[in-house]
A and B are shown apart, each in its own frame.
Chain A
Amino acid sequence: MEKARPLWANPLQFVFACISYAVGLGNVWRFPYLCQMYGGGSFLVPYIIMLIVEGMPLLYLELAVGQRMRQGSIGAFRTISPYLSGVGVASVMVSFFLSMYYNVINAWAFWYLFHSFQDPLPWSVCPLNGNRTGYDEECEKASSTQYFWYRKTLNISPSIQENGSVQWEPALCLLLAWLVVYLCILRGTESTGKVVYFTASLPYCVLIIYLVRGLTLHGATNGLMYMFTPKMEQLTNPKAWINAATQIFFSLGLGFGSLIAFASYNEPSSNCQKHAIIVSLINSSTSIFASIVTFSIYGFKATFNYENCLRKVSLLLTNTFDLEDGFLTASNLEEVKGYLASAYPSKYSEVFPHIKNCSLESELDTAVQGTGLAFIVYTEAIKNMEVSQLWSVLYFFMLLMLGIGSMLGNTAAILTPLTDSKIISSHLPKEAISGLVCLISCAIGMVFTTEAGNYWFDIFNDYAATLSLLLIVLVETIAVCYVYGLRRFESDLKAMTGRALSWYWKVMWAGVSPLLIVSLFVFYLSDYILAGTLKYQAWEASQGQLVTKDYPAYALAAIGLLVASSTMCIPLVALGIFVLRCLKRGDAAPVA
């Protein structure tokens, strides 16, 4: 007697699970960067077009496949065609790589969260040097937030070759992060379904609180105006469109198998079209909402730094020329400078090289993305707010919720095919399989807590998922439309949900979306090939800033292995099944 497949307790749990998975850290730290780089308000045009043309159709496709096949990614594609089960295997491999390095971000969020309960915040002051006459040299050259991130959190080595040892503090936090993930996925959909209520809704609460706080900060309007002034000429820049397409693609988390896994626990009759539209719209609006918050905070930080810069210049001039204290203000700085240059030319030319040109635009122009934005720029803004401990705790709690929500989806993508497979699930209970997966990922993830760990993290972040996902989704779309048959799939959906498939989805699935993916794929490949050797940013402690270095040969080999191990699954498994079938046919022939 077959055990009934576990189901979501109600459709809301499924929608929340998808939102919790799709709305992740990328919405907070990648979209604002893209918006800033590619024309502010005008970036929304390619973004929304790509959402309608690429995001919604592909999301609907994955949800429909999962709901129809009622199995994880490997089983679903095996049902479509046994030769295509390699697509499922590739999905599981990519999900495995992702879960290995993604949870390190949660570990860092835990680290910062635990350190937020101190007064003053540890990243707001530099530590003292040996004889207590000044501050630590590295901290002086960089800023206190950069020092805390690179030295105290990562203890980063100067290059990827110097491995160093495992740092016990991030390692403990990583262990805790995996334990929390294990706690949430322990019972399958029963436990995941309840956890996603929190991981989906709490980030919005924090974002709303931050929106209110952010908009009332001094200088927030500078950042908002800077972001939302559209620079229409960027619309003609092909990079803007490509980045919009890429952002939509990766932000929805397509191709990992998580959406198929989540949808497989659905009732067959649930309306996945409505769910797909809701999830993609919520994901995109969260990105825009998060970028409003981010830019008001940027504006605050830029204004704060600009006013600090002006203060420093005033102090320098006041000290050099022994002017009256408080005489120089922001408004009369320029004319006083002019007067001093004419009245005391020799003295002025001496001090001139030290006078920094303070500009609000250049402060706003510093576009940062990724861990740099979350852990350096945001913390710098938070340390200048009142009651900074509260804002810090809220912020890192939100990062944690976003990260754990995405981790739940990733682990579901790995576990669903494993628990579906009869060989494994007959020997081990669900809890043991989850435990084993978490244990293995945690053990391998310890690599990212070594001194060179952040460089390996960047490798995984940039290369583990990008090309492979494009290929996986392309093969998925072609498999459903042409191998399984678009008409057959359409009639299946109609029988399942009772609703006819609109012509729009058919056109998108069969034509437009695969073309888009192919063009993205070609663009990425040509970008990598044209760039020649790959470079990375290394932290130079003596200078207190990042320097660009080349990857050594073994790192390049690791990158190649990463990409190949997931993409090669598709042809290799197809070949393997073909060979097995030939052998079986060879065995069966003599008997018959």
Chain B
Amino acid sequence: MLWLLFFLVTAIHAELCQPDAENAFKVRLSIRTALGDKAYAWDTNEEYLFKAMVAFSMRKVPNREATEISHVLLCNVTQRVSFWFVVIDPSKNHTLPAVEVQSAIRKNRNRINNAFSLNDQTLEFLKIPSTLAPPTDPSVPIWIIIFGVIFCIVIVAITLLILSGIRQRRRKNKEPSGVDDTEDKCENMITIENGIPCDPLDMKGGHINEAFMTEDERLTPL
């Protein structure tokens, strides 16, 4: 009698877990791709761990805290390594809806991955899309900071160059203008009589003729 029941149970289980069965999911592992030389072989112990992880994920769902490892069925394990699994409810009659299993696995994907030292690409749950990690967005984009720094440096350099250019030009303008001023002053002293400038009598062009004796030397010094 017990044997009959046992066969019946396994038969029902076999029906519940089949490729493309209702609420069944296919899992694919690429252990050698992920770990290379450190790859572990996939055996029944690993399967047990997998069942445990799925049960753990289901226990976190409200109303499903009673899920046991025996409620997770695996079948069609291939060399790939790939297999199908279903989660059955405590009455062992029907499988849990796919939506529940899907959301439970999605929420605990990280823990499942870490248990097998794999990642989202090497431990694939077909038909369960993984939530991709959002890229870290700093509050101020980095490029604006660098842009701001270089922009300020360039503006400061331009200002310095322009200011030093203006100062150089002012210095150059002051020197020749000093010489020009005295020349102007002398020219202003040209006296004009009757409209004719007294150029020939102008002191500017005049030289003191050393041949004539100066006032001082009329009296021979003693």
Contact B80 A114 (CB under 8 A): no
* Chain-B contact segment, one of A172-180, A260-268, A334-342, A488-496: A172-180
* Chain-B contact segment, one of A10-18, A217-225, A318-326: A318-326
* Chain-A contact segment, one of B92-100, B147-155, B180-188: B147-155
Contact A132 B29 (CB under 8 A): no
- A182 to B159: give the CA distance in the assembly, Å: 11
Interface flag for B132 (CB, 8 Å): yes
Contacts of B157 in A (CB 8 A): 183
Q: Which residue of B lies closest to A327 (CB)?
A: B79
Interface flag for B129 (CB, 8 Å): yes
Interface flag for B143 (CB, 8 Å): yes
Interface flag for B192 (CB, 8 Å): no
Task: Report the minimal beta-carbon distance from B171 to chain A, rounded to whole angstroms.
Answer: 14
Interface flag for A186 (CB, 8 Å): yes
Contacts of A576 in B (CB 8 A): none
Interface flag for B74 (CB, 8 Å): no
Within 8 A of A (CB), among B155-170: 155, 157-158, 161-162, 165, 169
Interface flag for A125 (CB, 8 Å): yes
- Residues 381-419 of chain A, each 1 if its beta carbon lies under 8 Å from chain B, else 0: 000000000000000000000000000000000000000
Contacts of B165 in A (CB 8 A): 186-187, 429, 431
- A110 to B158: give the CA distance in the assembly, Å: 19
Most buried by B among A110, A114, A183: A114
- A191 to B30: give the CA distance in the assembly, Å: 62
- Residues 125-157 of chain B, each 1 if its beta carbon lies under 8 Å from chain A, else 0: 000011110110000001110110011001101
Interface flag for B31 (CB, 8 Å): yes
Interface flag for A111 (CB, 8 Å): yes
Q: Which residue of A lies closest to B158 (CB)?
A: A183
Q: Which listed residue (A134, A179, A191, A325) contacts B33, Cβ 8 A? A: A325
Task: Report the minimal beta-carbon distance from A8 to chain B, rounded to whole angstroms.
Answer: 19
Task: Report the minimal beta-carbon distance from A279 to chain B, rounded to whole angstroms.
Answer: 28
Interface flag for B102 (CB, 8 Å): no
- A234 to B150: give the CA distance in the assembly, Å: 48
Residues A179 and B131 in contact in the complex (CB < 8 Å), given A173-B147, A318-B80: no
Interface flag for B203 (CB, 8 Å): no
Interface flag for A127 (CB, 8 Å): yes
Q: Which listed residue (B82, B132, B161) contacts A183, Cβ 8 A? A: B161
Contacts of B131 in A (CB 8 A): 132-133
Contact A128 B134 (CB under 8 A): yes
Task: Report the minimal beta-carbon distance from A92 to chain B, rounded to whole angstroms.
Answer: 24
Contact A325 B147 (CB under 8 A): no
Residues A179 and B155 in contact in the complex (CB < 8 Å), given A127-B135, A431-B162: yes
Q: Which residue of A lies closest to B31 (CB)?
A: A325
Contact B79 A324 (CB under 8 A): yes
Contacts of B135 in A (CB 8 A): 125, 127-128
- A173 to B79: give the CA distance in the assembly, Å: 56
- Residues 524-548 of chain A, each 1 if its beta carbon lies under 8 Å from chain B, else 0: 0000000000000000000000000
Contact B132 A326 (CB under 8 A): no
Task: Report the minimal beta-carbon distance from A311 to chain B, rounded to whole angstroms.
Answer: 9
Task: Report the minimal beta-carbon distance from B211 to chain A, rounded to whole angstroms.
Answer: 39
Interface flag for A213 (CB, 8 Å): no
- A313 to B63: give the CA distance in the assembly, Å: 43
- A322 to B80: give the CA distance in the assembly, Å: 5
Contact B134 A325 (CB under 8 A): no
Interface flag for A115 (CB, 8 Å): yes
Interface flag for A118 (CB, 8 Å): yes
Interface flag for B28 (CB, 8 Å): yes
Contact B151 A186 (CB under 8 A): no
- A253 to B129: give the CA distance in the assembly, Å: 56
Q: Which residue of B lies closest to A321 (CB)?
A: B80
Interface flag for B9 (CB, 8 Å): no
Interface flag for A117 (CB, 8 Å): yes
Contact B143 A117 (CB under 8 A): yes
Contacts of A114 in B (CB 8 A): 142-144, 146-147
- A429 to B29: give the CA distance in the assembly, Å: 74
Task: Report the minimal beta-carbon distance from A290 to chain B, rounded to whole angstroms.
Answer: 26
Task: Report the minimal beta-carbon distance from A116 to chain B, rounded to whole angstroms.
Answer: 9
Contact A183 B154 (CB under 8 A): yes
Contact B33 A128 (CB under 8 A): no
Q: Which residue of A lies closest to B78 (CB)?
A: A322
Interface flag for B81 (CB, 8 Å): yes
- Residues 416-439 of chain A, each 1 if its beta carbon lies under 8 Å from chain B, else 0: 000000000000010100000000
Contacts of B60 in A (CB 8 A): none
Task: Report the minimal beta-carbon distance from A6 to chain B, rounded to whole angstroms.
Answer: 13
Interface flag for B32 (CB, 8 Å): yes
Contact B132 A323 (CB under 8 A): no
- A431 to B165: give the CA distance in the assembly, Å: 9
Contact B143 A115 (CB under 8 A): yes
Contact B80 A186 (CB under 8 A): no
Contact A182 B143 (CB under 8 A): no
A179-B151, A186-B161 are known; give 10 further A-B pairs, CB within 8 A.
Answer: A117-B143, A172-B147, A179-B155, A187-B161, A187-B165, A191-B161, A323-B80, A324-B80, A325-B31, A429-B165
